[in-house]
Structure 1
Amino acid sequence: MVMNEENVKERLIQATMDLLKKEKSAKKLTARKIAETADANLAMINYYFKSKDELVSLAVNQLIEASGEKQEELDLKDQVPKERLITFLTAIADSTCEYAELTRPTIPYLLLEGEFDLSYQILPLIKECFNNQRDETECRVIAYQLVSFLQIAFYRGKDFERYSSIDVMNEHQRHQLCRVLVEDAVKE
């Protein structure tokens, strides 16, 4: 029974992710459509996730995390640590923008209450950049600084653009921002 319950829960998450990739909008998703795609009872959404919004938020986060995992899987060993960090942050920023309508509403939660998953994900790269010349706390602060700054810049995109003339929705400018942030934070 437990195995079947996990199966239903995972099918609901996967169906939501598939629909989000297809629709690129949470507004077009209905609980009924998610349940139908997952071949699950509609009531299971509230049973496992309390609401459709919680399920959608979880699915969005998994899409972004999957982007980060894809970057980890790439053979970037030929790159110096700083370039790998820039590549990784750029990929996360690109995914965040690709799913902008979905990610923007989750940023306040991530900043105020969410786990520091992305900061932990980049921590090994930060440590590599400093070749063990900085202590653990300093590296953690730098990782959090990079992630939270990008989250705020994305969340307040228009205000940030007025202030800095950097449009985070513009790919070239976004990539340049990631490079500048890393270059500034990781001075060797």
Structure 2
Amino acid sequence: MKQSSKEHELSTKEHILKVTHDYILQTGFEAVTTRKIAALANVNIAMVNYYFGSKDKLLNETIKTILNSYKGCFSILDQADLPAKKRMEIFLTEYARTFQKYPELLRQIVRHSSFPFDSQFEFAHFVKTMGFPKVTAVLKEITNELDSDKLILTSVQIFGALLFPILMEPLIGPMFHCPMPDLEQQVAEILSKMS
């Protein structure tokens, strides 16, 4: 059965996105060039430009795909059939694991102004309006804390404790001469501090 023109366009565009995603996973964002992606995707540069218009737009679409996987982690917090602490444990582990795959993206998000892609701002809006409220709601279940300021502070501290080692991983090992514990251990340690 012959592919329609629209299906072929979609699959070529998706293929370019996947190649870009895989390349970022291996080398980071700084190494991405339109020429390199075109070569890896086995298409010409004009085809990349046709679908995305520029390297920045290609990166924006790729980052959007990556950040959507982070959004998916928040749905774990909605699984009411699991105890609140278990939901938080699974969420934190999956969330940090996703960032662990793309530590450069986390560093770029922290440096916000040097990497101003629309997808980054969309993600920040999602976290602020939907993600963070889910986290604080589950924390409320775990701790029985009613003060929203304390719940927000606890959330910030949890994310800081979890994401800071990912940000600092290149320095932590050589500085302290010890490997970081795995994510499950880190999350268990963070959650053990909650009542």
TM-score by length of 2: 0.60
Cα displacement (A) at 1:140: 1.7
- Answer whether contact 1:68 1:91 (CA < 8 A) is retained: no
- Answer whether contact 2:139 2:151 (CA < 8 A) is retained: no
Cα displacement (A) at 1:87: 0.7
Q: 1:163 to 1:122 in 2, by over 3 A?
A: farther
- Identity across aligned pairs (percent)? 14
Aligned equivalents of 1:160 and 1:141: distance in 2?
Answer: 25
- Answer whether contact 2:21 2:62 (CA < 8 A) is retained: no
Cα displacement (A) at 1:141: 1.8
Q: What residue in structure 1 maps to residue 100 of structure 2?
A: 97
Q: What residue in structure 1 maps to residue 81 of structure 2?
A: 78
Cα displacement (A) at 1:16: 6.0
Gap runs ≥5 in structure 1: 1-7, 47-51
Deviations 1:59-78 (A, max 9, x none): 33541432441561698433
Q: What residue in structure 2 maps to residue 19 of structure 1?
A: 19
Do residues 181 (structure 1) and 190 (structure 2) align? Answer: yes
Count residues with an aligned counterpart.
166
- The one-letter amino acid paired with 1:129 is L
- Answer whether contact 2:136 2:155 (CA < 8 A) is retained: yes
TM-score by length of 1: 0.62
Q: What residue in structure 2 maps to residue 5 of structure 1?
A: none
Deviations 1:130-178 (A, max 9, x none): 23532222222222222233332111114334449452xxxx6122112
Q: What residue in structure 1 maps to residue 150 of structure 2?
A: 138
Cα displacement (A) at 1:97: 1.8
- Answer whether contact 2:70 2:98 (CA < 8 A) is retained: yes
Q: 1:21 to 1:68 in 2, by over 3 A?
A: same
Aligned equivalents of 1:73 and 1:182: distance in 2?
Answer: 16
Aligned equivalents of 2:145 and 2:80: distance in 1?
Answer: 21
Q: 1:153 to 1:57 in 2, by over 3 A?
A: farther
Q: What residue in structure 2 maps to residue 121 of structure 1?
A: 131
Q: What residue in structure 1 maps to residue 49 of structure 2?
A: 41
Secondary structure of the structure 1 residue equivalent to 2:82: coil
Secondary structure of the structure 1 residue equivalent to 2:49: coil
- The one-letter amino acid paired with 2:85 is K
What is the Cα-based RMSD across aligned positions, in Å?
4.1
Cα displacement (A) at 1:42: 5.4
- The one-letter amino acid paired with 2:186 is L
Q: Among residues 153, 157, 165, which one is paired with 1:153 in the alignment?
A: 165
Secondary structure of the structure 1 residue equivalent to 2:80: coil
Deviations 1:5-36 (A, max 9, x none): xxx9xx97x66642244332346643243695
Cα displacement (A) at 1:91: 0.7
- Answer whether contact 2:165 2:172 (CA < 8 A) is retained: yes
